[in-house]
Amino acid sequence: MSLDARNLSDRVRGSEAKAKRRSFTPLRSVALAIAAVGWAPPGFAADPPFKDDAAEDAVAAKFPAGAGARAEEVSDDEDGGKAEEGGKAEEGGKAKEGGKAEEGGKAKEGGKAKEGGKAKEGGKQQKGAMDVEVHGRAVTWARFYRKSYYYGLGEEREVSTRDLSIHQARLGAKVKGPGDALSAELEVEIAGSPRLKDAYVQAKGRYLTLRVGQFRMPNTATENESSWDLPAVSRGLISELLLARLEFGGRRPGVALTARGRGKLDPRLTLGAFQGSMLTDTLDRDTALLSEVASNSQNLVARASVELGSVEFGGFYLDRVRTAVRVGPGSELHRAKGGGVDLFFDHDTRGGGLRLWIDGVMGESWFEHEEKEPDGSDAIFATGRVLAAWRWGGTERGGWYVEPYLLSGIFDPDLDVTADMAWEQAFGIHVGKWERVRVGAEVSHADAFRNFPTAHVMELLLDRYTVTLDAGVAF
């Protein structure tokens, strides 16, 4: 073979080999691209078994950050972190720049990776920081009454009235420490005469919570609920009798310890001691907190509750100071016992929700009919109450909603006396933005039979029809 023929044959074989190598270049480019982002099929090494300069140049053009660092087109990583400056945001929020991790470059889930790899702590409350929450609400009433008054000698007169008032103007603040382990709350009522509502500090652990200061004494679920969170305009006649006359519940200085269990039932037990009251006006039955009278001046209370799905079952026991007569320093304080059970149902539907409160209370009472023969023991009273509401809307805070409700209750002041029962019914509706703004209307009626004890001084609330228009806003 001549030299020219041999050279031509070598050139042909070289061209075929070069073409064959070129046919594998795309596969090599893909393999290098996969290896550059740190992925390999199970059982295979991530590093390529060969090297191709042209393919690496193509990878570098596609990924300007270079091998070992990944700049995604979408800056948010899988765990909510954010990679900036060509850094790599991995699971757990670890930020790199140029493939190197700097000190402090770890971000908690939900945090953002900043320049240089630094991150905020998950967008949550930072370690050692205090959280301050300011809240308040204002509620106005327009009330129309129609009531019958008795003026002696059998004379009866029907009177109609119309009143406008600021029912509530609350302002408060709550300070929470890291992890809500320690908190404090202060709330005042500035409508009318300014007065303190809540003022307490609280220490909360995994199973125990200790609260000291002035706050609401444990009672039925209806009484424990904030008036703003109840669907009704007010708690009504039964609540007025229990709190203002029989010393059940209300806000008082005291201390309470709550133990919480584990599991689906979420069992809770609260034990507390709260300052008792004494009578200051025998005519209007006004009371005030006991002060420098005796060593047993506290009301003792216990409440237990469990949850079963959407239903909470609860019960409480109360040993309280009687306010039947006026007392002074060194006086012997007499006590009265009582308790109650309750059920609270709260179920959310696709377009709203259903809420239901049912409770019953029974105990000793120092209010008896003036013609009842003395028997040396206190009367036994009993109450029953139902509050039901159906809501359309309001599936989230600030959402529009409509919620009609029905309230009904009975009060028997003495189980030994007949024809002495009092009762109330109310029907109303609220419209507004859930937990933010509401306007509503309520029609109610309260009355009692002829043997209801006048010692309760509740005549103004009996034999009365009321129409109430209310408007409120909370923040």
List of residues 6+ apart from 452 with CB closer than 8 A: 413, 420, 421, 422, 458, 462
- Tokens standing for 447? 């009355």
Spatial separation of the C-alpha atoms in residues 200 and 177, rounded to whole Å: 14
CA distances from 410 to 96, 340, 401, 422, 435 (A): 70, 14, 30, 6, 29
What is the phi/psi pair of residue 406, to 5°? -135, 130
Q: What angle do CA 469, 391, 444 make, to 5 degrees?
A: 35
Q: What is the pTM of this model?
A: 0.72
- Here the tokens at position 300 are 């003792």
Say what the pLDDT of residue 154 is. Answer: 58
Three-class secondary structure of residue 34 per DSSP = helix
**Of the candidates 212, 205, 299, 210, which has an alpha carbon nearest to the alpha carbon of residue 257?**
210
Q: Where are the domains of the chain?
A: 3-117, 136-169+200-474
The Cα–Cα gap between 114 and 160 comes to: 69
DSSP structure string for 408-470: EEEEES-TTSSS--EEEEEEEEEEEETTTEEEEEEEEEEEE-TTS-GGG--GGGSSEEEEEEE
**pLDDT tens, residue order, the chain (475 aa):** 444 444 444 554 554 544 444 444 444 544 444 444 444 444 444 444 444 555 555 545 555 544 444 433 333 444 443 433 433 434 344 433 434 433 434 433 333 433 333 334 334 445 567 899 999 999 999 999 998 776 555 567 788 999 999 999 999 999 999 888 999 999 999 998 899 999 999 999 999 999 999 999 999 999 999 999 999 999 999 999 999 899 998 999 999 999 999 889 999 999 999 999 999 988 888 899 998 898 899 999 999 999 999 999 999 999 999 998 888 888 889 999 999 999 999 999 999 999 999 999 999 999 988 888 888 889 999 999 999 999 999 999 999 999 999 999 999 999 999 999 999 999 999 999 999 999 999 999 999 998 998 887 777 778 889 999 999 999 9
CB-count exposure of residue 420 (10 Å: 0-12, 13-18, 19+):
buried
pLDDT value of position 240? 92
Burial-class residue 441 by CB neighbours within 10 Å (0-12, 13-18, 19+).
middle
- Determine the pLDDT at residue 320: 96
Q: Where are the alpha helices (DSSP H) in 37-148?
A: 53-62
Superfamily of domain covering 136-169+200-474: Porin (2.40.160.10)
| Alpha helices for 227-349 (secondary structure H) | 237-240
